[in-house]
Amino acid sequence: MRTLMSKCCDRCTHSKENPCRDFIRCRLEGPLCHDDADCKAKRVEIKAVLDGLALIRPVVTVGMGTCGLASGADKVWAKLHELTEASGLDVEFKQVGCIGLCHREVIVDIQKPNRPRVSFGSVTEDKVKHLVEYLENDVIPTEMVIGRFPYMGEEQEGLKEYELPLIYDLPVLKKQKRVALANCGLINPDSLDEYVNRGGFVALSKALGEMSPADVIGTVTASGLRGRGGGGFPTGRKWGFAAAETADKKYLVCNADEGDPGAFMDRSLLEGDPYRVLEGILIGAYAMGASEGYIYVRAEYPLAIQKLKNSLARMEELALIGDNILGSGFNFHLKIKTGAGAFVCGEETALLASIEGKRGMPRPRPPYPASKGLWGKPTCINNVETFANVPTILSKGADWFASIGTEKSKGTKVFALTGKINNTGLIEVPMGTSIREIVFDIGGGIINGGEYKAVQIGGPSGGCLPKELLDTPVDYESLIKAGAMMGSGGLVVVDHHTCMVDFARFFISFTCNESCGKCIPCREGTARMKETMDRIVSARADETEDDTLLRFQSVVELEKLAETIKDTAACGLGQTAPNPVLSTLRYFRDEYDAHVFERRCPAGQCRSLLTYTIEADKCRGCGLCAKRCPQNAIVGEKGHAHVIVEDKCIRCGACIQFCPFEAIKSS
């Protein structure tokens, strides 16, 4: 017996054809069906290795999620292999998903036998030698250390590792509470052993063995879990609707079509802990009585798809999915559907149309998918993060979950923290945590000592929260009140160099491009809004009187359009499309006024409102700017100061980017 999942001896009867009801509990506490000290000892030994207590050789763990790979984790991985082999070191290598500290990628953890696991950050190929030095000679490269993990065994005295800070005491992690992300970055996502060892599939065994579907729904309802995909509809109630329907077949769909630009929570969850999501899906399917399901994943997430495929194959081998799951008589088959790149498919009825092989366009509701969904059958659709919370709710109880968060928003929320912030990455905080705590305590403040301007929350359907609203707690109701929304959980922080008008224009161009075109308010309305926004940020030397009048009317026009779209668009995504414009108008009206009436951009970002000049005393006449200018608007002799011909200049800013002497100024 080498793994937690393998049989202790021939007396174990578990097989795919004849699954054992106590399979999971037996792996953790077993053997249960017979009494044998040897079998028991084998289980205890394997568990100790998985807990990091009885290591025979050092374990080197590399974060290989998409963000790790983007930072060069594969190169670090290869270099680690090369150098440890060259030194003749016997080490075990392990790959994990993302722990969320994306700003410190590539992250490598090392645990030596009988010592705590130590995490090292910002590892590059060149720095790998320091890690090998630690493996070989115990010299800790302290400047690379992020922190140490708590050690579950007995602390040895005099070890230098214990002088390092505990990773969970770091400001970036201290205020976080990890429920959905509990295993992300800690366990090998491909290892069912590691997942089960950390309590995985205990909830599923409990649901199938001891609870009726109604009990499961009751527990989820009592926990107060609400949909994490954006809407915030109570999950237990949604399952209840689908369960109440009578039909020969019901479907369950997991929405992993994470289309919000600036959000990557679902991706990290699927890459870092796919079994948890799958366990949640199984529990949901059992509760509502679904026999078939789909997980709809973005095609842009190849790694997540790969991890899901591996996990599903492994679960099939062990009768954790398919027919007669864990001997309970419950059947559930799950298929992976790869999305083909359409933002609107995040809307549930559009997603169903896409699974059916059609154009992904929403349809009016009712009938709701719970009564008429996929191929006309009752269908329940939940988000990845919602499912990831379910196993913990069942194993720790509804009361435990309900004790976290605020009165109406229970539990935690995962956010992708990005933009002009020091600690970019993935975070999970209890509902009700203030934006200030997220930005300044967890996020470590604005990059380059900049000034906080706003945080954009909720993606293209959400809004901005300015400085005055820094103390807003993140929960469903407070955010709606402030003109934003929870959305799926993208948090983009912007500083004083970001123009809010340009920012709103970015979102409206996005929704305009992604509009499915079915209803006029969204198709035409967002296009008119984009046109109006373009008019605000572009300077036109040949502007006619009519154009000027239109420009002056633009803010009124925007408000009118926004209200109409909000009231009349066919789907949720359309109705919320004007939100970024409305919220910037609400909090940053002065910036709009500066653009419209004074024709200037206070943040200095809207290029067409700037003028470019070359400072003669700084210019050395190298000609690089002239070479880069797409309009040939820069003239001058080699070795002499150059000049920009203003009439020809299209204000693209290419010259500034390439001037080695910082001689070009914009104002």
Partner 1 sequence: MSTTQCQCGGVTTDPRITEILSKYPSKESANLIPMLQEVQEKYGYLPRKALVAAAKHTGLSTAEVYGVATFYNQFRFKPLGKYTISVCCGTACHVRGAAEILQTLESELDIHPGETTEDGLFTLETVACLGACSMAPVVMVNGEFHGKLTPKSVLKMLNLYRKKG
Span 492-511, contacts to partner 1 by CB under 8 A: 492, 494, 498, 503, 506-507, 510
Span 126-165, contacts to partner 1 by CB under 8 A: none
CB 307 within 8 A of CB 274: yes
Span 199-258, contacts to partner 1 by CB under 8 A: 258
CA angle 475, 479, 485 (to 5 degrees): 100
20 CB-near residues (< 8 Å, 6+ apart): 12, 13, 14, 26, 33, 326, 327
CB 316 within 8 A of CB 323: no
Using alpha carbons, select from 581, 568, 577, 576 the residue that is nearest to residue 519.
568
Q: What is the dihedral of CA 560, 565, 566, 569, to 10 degrees?
A: 160
> Which CB, 67 or 208, lies closer to partner 1?
67
Span 344-363, contacts to partner 1 by CB under 8 A: 354-361
Spatial strand order of the sheet with 251-256 comes to 333-338, 292-297, 251-256, 379-383
CB 644 within 8 A of CB 633: yes
For partner 1, which residue of 176, 392, 409, 424 counts as binding (CB under 8 A)?
Answer: 424
Span 635-664, contacts to partner 1 by CB under 8 A: 652-654, 657-658
DSSP state of 154: P
Is 77 a residue that touches partner 1 (CB under 8 A)? no
CB 632 within 8 A of CB 649: no
> Which CB, 624 or 643, lies closer to partner 1?
624
163 CB-near residues (< 8 Å, 6+ apart): none
> Which CB, 111 or 349, lies closer to partner 1?
349
Range in contact with partner 1 (rule: CB under 8 A) among 10-18, 239-247, 420-428, 540-548: 420-428
For partner 1, which residue of 235, 514, 571, 582 counts as binding (CB under 8 A)?
Answer: 514
Is 613 a residue that touches partner 1 (CB under 8 A)? no
- To the nearest whole angstrom, how small is the minimum distance from the Cβ of residue 391 to partner 1? 24
- To the nearest whole angstrom, how small is the minimum distance from the Cβ of residue 172 to partner 1? 13
Range in contact with partner 1 (rule: CB under 8 A) among 112-120, 197-205, 232-240, 335-343: 335-343
Phi, psi of 26 (to 5 degrees): -60, -40
- To the nearest whole angstrom, how small is the minimum distance from the Cβ of residue 596 to partner 1? 22
> Which CB, 102 or 479, lies closer to partner 1?
102
For partner 1, which residue of 139, 313, 340, 520 counts as binding (CB under 8 A)?
Answer: 340
Is 427 a residue that touches partner 1 (CB under 8 A)? no
Q: Is 149 helix (H, G, I), strand (E, B) or coil?
A: coil
The backbone region for 621, taken as left when phi is positive above 0, alpha when psi lies in -120 to 50, beta otherwise, is left
- To the nearest whole angstrom, how small is the minimum distance from the Cβ of residue 562 to partner 1? 20
Using alpha carbons, select from 202, 212, 253 the residue that is nearest to residue 394.
202
CB 271 within 8 A of CB 65: yes
Is 259 a residue that touches partner 1 (CB under 8 A)? yes
CB 3 within 8 A of CB 193: yes
- To the nearest whole angstrom, how small is the minimum distance from the Cβ of residue 544 to partner 1? 28
For partner 1, which residue of 80, 516, 519, 585 counts as binding (CB under 8 A)?
Answer: 516
DSSP state of 370: T
For partner 1, which residue of 416, 429, 569, 571 counts as binding (CB under 8 A)?
Answer: 416
Is 264 a residue that touches partner 1 (CB under 8 A)? yes
For partner 1, which residue of 50, 67, 83, 282 counts as binding (CB under 8 A)?
Answer: 67
> Which CB, 186 or 492, lies closer to partner 1?
492
Q: Is 162 helix (H, G, I), strand (E, B) or coil?
A: helix
Residues interacting with partner 1, by CB under 8 A?
66-67, 69-71, 102-103, 105, 258-264, 267, 299-302, 337-338, 340-343, 354-361, 416, 418-420, 424-425, 456, 459, 490, 492, 494, 498, 503, 506-507, 510, 514, 516, 628, 630, 652-654, 657-658
